Amino acid sequence: MSIESVLHENRVFEPSADFVKNANVSGMAAYNQLCAEAAADYEGFWAKLARELLVWNKPFTKTLNQENAPFYKWFEDGELNVSANCLDKHLNTIPNKVAIIFEGDDGATQEVTYKDLYHRVCQFANGLKKLNLNVGDRVIIYLPMGIEAVVAMQACARIGLIHSVVFGGFSAKSLNERIIDAGAKAVITSDGQFRGGKTLPLKSAVDEGIAMGGCEVIEKVVVLKKTGLEIAWNSNNIWWHDLIANVADTCEPVMVNAEHPLFLLYTSGSTGKPKGVQHSSAGYLLHAMNTMRWTFDIHENDVFWCTADVGWITGHSYVTYGPLAMGATQIIFEGIPTYPNAGRFWQMIEKHKVSIFYTAPTAIRSLIKASETTPEVAPKNYNLSSLRLLGSVGEPINPEAWMWYFEQVGGSRCPIADTFWQTETGGHVITPLPGATPLVPGSCTLPFPGIDIDVVDETGKDVPWGTGGLLVIKKPWPSMIRTIYNDPERYKTSYYPVDLGGKIYLAGDGAIRDAKTGNFTIMGRIDDVLNVSGHRLGTMEIESALVANHLVAEAAVVGKPHDVKGESVVAYVVLKGPRPEGDEAKKIVAELREWVGKEIGPIAKPDEIRFGDNLPKTRSGKIMRRLLRTLARGEEITSDISTLDNPAILEQLKEVVK
């Protein structure tokens, strides 16, 4: 996205009077009032919300503990159970309300009420209890999108187990690394999965991952029979259905401390090793709920659909936890947006009368393309009148895509919540509130009430509105990351760097606030993190994967703007042997792409590979990534390259192997 196009954006869309009237946060005055309350009494603001929204078994008396900053504690003497807050709470009020409408890849649907879901979670939790798992033990979940994925996560929460969901698109090697880092005692997986009309294996990656070694702590692998695909069977495997056969379907929730880790979720950072982002129970759930209420304006009769997979943070906060805790009806979809055709999302919105729809810009951009080439699948062929609110997440949405989403999908009547947040923030931190905030295409607008987010310079000093800088959060907030599992030092250096004074959270994105309105525009990552189709990938991770290949001597990876995926991956590779050409080069490109797919997952495969006899380096041996980015974009290098040791390399690196 060009930043200029957003900064010069002067279209403003005010919420309609109707929307404002019924909104949970109604009008800008109400928004400003909430922000003022948080500014006047920060802890009081959050304490009030935590008492209002959460069901406590033992109420908290302390709100925020900053003694061991930046390891903050929220509501630390309170006790509760997250699953009880998502399910048990509703048993007396809305037992027969539909909690989940599941639509399979093949279009078949299943409905689960709150009462059904409660029993399914209890039963599976009782099953897990038979496996020698104790409060605080880690469990890896590697399942396709479906009711069972939610059941597995909720069941862990119910008995105090810490889940770590690994997205099904990650490889055996990635699983292996996560199992080892988390010290997981069990894995929950399925024989296979259905996607886009195909039946794909899943459990085989678990077998392979465990066989790679170091996973001796794994005691059991629970296997859901989903597809009937033939699988290898090991002595520590147990079928999901056998685990719950003749098991009671009620299970006392285990009360845990507010700070008890609810989950670990691995995400990419600026080194080769993914970080296990650790979240709390109470603070995390509080923000998942409150953002459902204020950002998504959730009402009793809404049908909410967040298209994210539970393998990502968006699926944690806005599939597994937020909607259930708020008693909403939600859609869970197993398939992909382009099967059987690219009208699938619109067809499902029509069929299930979805009122709130939350997806990623990359999906929107690919569906724009599809409806240009195949007009039959354009949104205008479907009845989308049930929609009242749209959301966007994961990457910047360019104004062109925003306008299309607004007009073609939302019928120019639905506000768009462009929600900025991260795995580490737990929930939205900058977003419009749909019944209050004037919308500007391409801007995520204003801070969520209570979140003290701003832009500063390299020394941590405020910059004036209209000047770009680093996005930071100045005060701790309840749903923030608590630490990086096994690596508290890295938590401190990544998010609380001393350059900025050690007391403010560094998000890792660049941002600028509009000089007049204070609206935020996100300018992209300032570190070596890429955002490919809304998936977060570290350049160093891909580089480590490449150099682990026997042919490769050296590799450097950069991102390049891509009109559908947001960014694409360009890898510069130096082989141990001579620089390949022609068919030889093509063969090695194919091999290296496959290799990265195996090392990390198909989502990380480089889109382009270029070979050089060397990489452009300074005389001190530092790779000049800035130049590599310029080359990737196909632009001429105009900057000073006099410090470059080997300028001739640049010509070679312009050549893309096709």
Binding residues for CoA: 195-198, 314, 533
Q: Which is nearer to ligand WTA, 56 or 496 (CB)?
A: 496
Cβ contact 540:270 at 8 Å:
yes
Give residues with Cβ within 8 angstroms of 362, minimum separation 6: 394, 395, 533, 534, 564, 565, 566
Cβ contact 354:390 at 8 Å:
no
Among the listed residues 267, 320, 330, 366, the single contact to ligand WTA using CB under 6 A: 267
Among the listed residues 100, 444, 470, 592, the single contact to ligand WTA using CB under 6 A: 444
By the rule CB under 6 A, 454 interacts with ligand WTA: no
CA–CA distance, 201 with 129 (Å, rounded to integer): 27
Among the listed residues 522, 552, 571, 573, the single contact to ligand WTA using CB under 6 A: 522
By the rule CB under 6 A, 508 interacts with ligand WTA: yes
Q: Which is nearer to ligand WTA, 562 or 586 (CB)?
A: 562
Using CB under 6 A, which residues numbered 526 to 555 contact ligand WTA?
A: 531, 536
CA–CA distance, 12 with 652 (Å, rounded to integer): 47
By the rule CB under 6 A, 218 interacts with ligand WTA: no
CB of 252 to ligand WTA, least distance (A): 33
- Strands 552-562 and 192-195, how do they pair? unpaired
CA–CA distance, 112 with 120 (Å, rounded to integer): 10
By the rule CB under 6 A, 420 interacts with ligand WTA: yes
By the rule CB under 6 A, 429 interacts with ligand WTA: no
- Window of 4-12, 22-30, 200-208, 414-422 that interacts with ligand WTA by CB under 6 A: 414-422
Tracing tokens 């699948």 back to the chain, one arrives at 377
Residue ranges for the known binding site are 195-198, 314, 394-396, 418-423, 509, 525, 533, 536, 547, 552
By the rule CB under 6 A, 421 interacts with ligand WTA: yes
Q: Which is nearer to ligand WTA, 114 or 404 (CB)?
A: 404
Give residues with Cβ within 8 angstroms of 112, minimum separation 6: 98, 99, 100, 102, 120, 147
By the rule CB under 6 A, 525 interacts with ligand WTA: yes
- Reading the block at residue 435, the tokens are 């019944």
Number of residues that bind ligand WTA (CB under 6 A): 22
- Window of 7-15, 122-130, 190-198, 507-515 that interacts with ligand WTA by CB under 6 A: 507-515
Phi-psi region of 573 (alpha: psi -120 to 50; beta: other; left: phi over 0): beta
Q: Which is nearer to ligand WTA, 4 or 372 (CB)?
A: 4
Give residues with Cβ within 8 angstroms of 164, minimum separation 6: 138, 139, 140, 141, 178, 182, 184, 263, 264, 265, 266, 276
Give residues with Cβ within 8 angstroms of 244, minimum separation 6: 123, 124, 126, 127
Among the listed residues 176, 237, 314, 329, the single contact to ligand WTA using CB under 6 A: 314
CB of 98 to ligand WTA, least distance (A): 26
Burial (CB count within 10 angstroms: exposed 0-12, middle 13-18, buried 19+), residue 26: middle
Cβ contact 496:544 at 8 Å:
no
CB of 167 to ligand WTA, least distance (A): 10
Q: Which is nearer to ligand WTA, 207 or 418 (CB)?
A: 418
By the rule CB under 6 A, 313 interacts with ligand WTA: yes
By the rule CB under 6 A, 567 interacts with ligand WTA: no
Q: Which is nearer to ligand WTA, 151 or 286 (CB)?
A: 286
Binding site for ligand WTA (CB under 6 A): 267, 312-314, 393-396, 418-423, 444, 507-509, 522, 525, 531, 536
